[in-house]
Structure 1
Amino acid sequence: MPAIKSAISVGLLYVPVSLQKTTRDTSIHFNQLCKDTHQRIKYQKYCPSCNKEIKNEDIVKGYEFEKGQYVTISEDELERIKTKADKTIHIIHFAKMSEIDPILFEKNYYVVPEPGGEKAYELLRQALLSKKSVAIAKTVLGTKEELLCLYPEKDGILARILFYQEEIQAMPKTITNIKVEKSELDIAKTLIDSMSQKFDIAAYYDEYQKRLREAIESKIQGKEIVTADPSQPGNIIDLMEALKKTVEMRKGHKGTA
């Protein structure tokens, strides 16, 4: 996906920037093949009224306002209804970082200054960081007005797209008035202590994708796929017994290490 050209605007301050994806897809993707010939399955954009395949340039956007009734809208018309603020990352106000509930975060973009905007960009970054604040802003991406916060980091600024309140579902209700004994809580805290370590994202990887790549390599070489080890701990009904055994296992694990 190419960078999205935009600008941060607040009052008279105008900072030309681009939004760039923070992540990349490393998953294995499969194609759909014909079972008999192993040829790729093709999907055609077909109009039943014209009885023919339709090219991309002949396709328009349409909104169904009644069953079978559509109003069409062109890309030019979509651009015309955007205001000047829609075309920038327009800062509405500032807020404390701690006030943003993590459940609201949808996706991230790197905010990268364009030529001429470096000084104002750095000024905004340092000011936000020193105040432990974020900028709450809006911008239109595609056909949706996105709510986002500009989140200062050590090396730059992140644009963190937020869900709107109506997009967040309530937490499913659970059984209330559950009594937890002090002894249970103490052993649970001991478990947390025994398994606590500094978080390092570099220590983690997609283990299933690794096994999947190995399985594909085996198939390429004409070998059979070996079944993964299905072993797993048995059910321990008693909560305290489960906690104690887990703590003992962790102590043994540390001794071995």
Structure 2
Amino acid sequence: MATGSRTLWKGAITFGLVHIPVGLHTATTEEGVDFDWLDKRTMDPVGYKRVNKKTGKEIDKDNIVKGVEYEDGKYVVISPDEIEAVYPRTTQTIEIQRFVDANALPFVYLQRPYYVAPINRGHKVYALLREVLHKTGKIGLAKVVIATKQHLAALVPGEKALVLNLLRWGDEVKSLEGLDLPGAGIKGAKISGAEMKMAEQLVKSMSGGWKPEDFKDEFKHEVMKLVAKKVKAGDTETVIQPEEEAPSEGAEIIDLTDLLARSLKGAKAPKPAARKTPRKAPARKSAAAKARKSA
């Protein structure tokens, strides 16, 4: 769990007129081995240069503009002011749009999980939302803005914690068109009864409980064994890393009273969420650097 971890984001879960003040905590760590580039002559960290791919020459950042390719080799240049103007507005809320059956969300949409923990006396309403999701078998589909980027997310109840899973947008998941797939169902795939029976027996013989500690990254394990061996032998180097800026935290949301009754009174059937015209985000030096090239 995220106990004692740094809060990455502060805001509130909202649905109807209910606000639940919460903080986000990272739920995962990056796997694999992180190989840093070092100058073998001085053991200084090695960074990346801005290089003109045609001339091979390094260019100053002031001469770099952002372009979106709309046809092969043809671009539209977007200015920093135009980029900032369409950033989504920062609301510091996990705004639940609707509740859906937990098994209705395909795994392919899941992207990155965060633990959600209550703050500012929001524990009881937090627990109420967690338990009602358990009882109804629902999850909350929400929109949230993190570091100027808007995400679709699923609010999923765990045993004790709510988990916010960032999702891929619908147009980011490719269709099955063009894949050579067998027909759906046993008959469609032309599977015989004997084949299915043997497959069921094999699956049963290999079945067991979910124990994440039973699985590990073998490559990382072997590399870290080598690292430990070299450390023990004194075969090490000292590298001075530049200081990193700590990410800023969002403003706290004031704890509000339980407004379930009023929300229920004004509840309506969910409608497809209308696409809002984003507002300009607060000016940040790093904002322009977060713009990404459209797929």
| TM-score, normalised by the number of residues in structure 1 | 0.68
User: What corresponds to 1:174 in structure 2?
Assistant: 181
For structure 2, which runs of at least 5 residues remain unmatched after alignment?
1-5, 69-73, 236-295
User: What corresponds to 2:164 in structure 1?
Assistant: 159
Alignment of 1:19-34 (within 5 A): 19-34=24-39
Shift of residue 27, structure 1, vs aligned partner: 3.0
User: What corresponds to 1:72 in structure 2?
Assistant: 80
Match of 1:215 among 216, 222, 226: 226
Match of 1:91 among 86, 90, 96: 96
* Aligned CA distance change for structure 1 residues 39 and 146 (closer, same or farther; 3 Å): closer
Q: Deviations over 1:56-76 (max 9, x none)?
A: xxx7x9643684844113998
User: What corresponds to 1:206 in structure 2?
Assistant: 217
Match of 2:124 among 119, 136, 141: 119
- Which protein has the bigger strand share? 1
State how far apart, in whole Å, the 2-side matches of 1:131 and 1:162 are.
22
For structure 1, which runs of at least 5 residues remain unmatched after alignment?
224-257
How many residue pairs match? The answer is 214
Tell me, yes or no, if the aligned pair for 2:10 and 2:92 is still in contact at 8 Å: no
Within the alignment, does 1:197 sit opposite 2:208 as a pair?
Answer: yes
Q: Name the SS for the 1:122 alignment partner.
A: helix
User: What corresponds to 1:7 in structure 2?
Assistant: 12
State how far apart, in whole Å, the 2-side matches of 1:35 and 1:145 are.
41
Q: Which has the larger radius of gyration?
A: 1
- Which protein has the bigger helix share? 1
* Aligned CA distance change for structure 1 residues 62 and 158 (closer, same or farther; 3 Å): farther
Cα RMSD for the two superposed structures: 3.5
Tell me, yes or no, if the aligned pair for 1:62 and 1:73 is still in contact at 8 Å: no
Shift of residue 222, structure 1, vs aligned partner: 9.9
Shift of residue 17, structure 1, vs aligned partner: 0.9
Q: Deviations over 1:188-244 (max 9, x none)?
A: 222112212222112222222111222344566599xxxxxxxxxxxxxxxxxxxxx
Q: Name the SS for the 1:173 alignment partner.
A: coil
User: What corresponds to 1:142 in structure 2?
Assistant: 147
Q: Percent same amino acid at aligned positions?
A: 24
* Aligned CA distance change for structure 1 residues 162 and 67 (closer, same or farther; 3 Å): closer
Shift of residue 140, structure 1, vs aligned partner: 1.6
What is the identity, as a one-letter code, of the residue corresponding to 1:8?
I
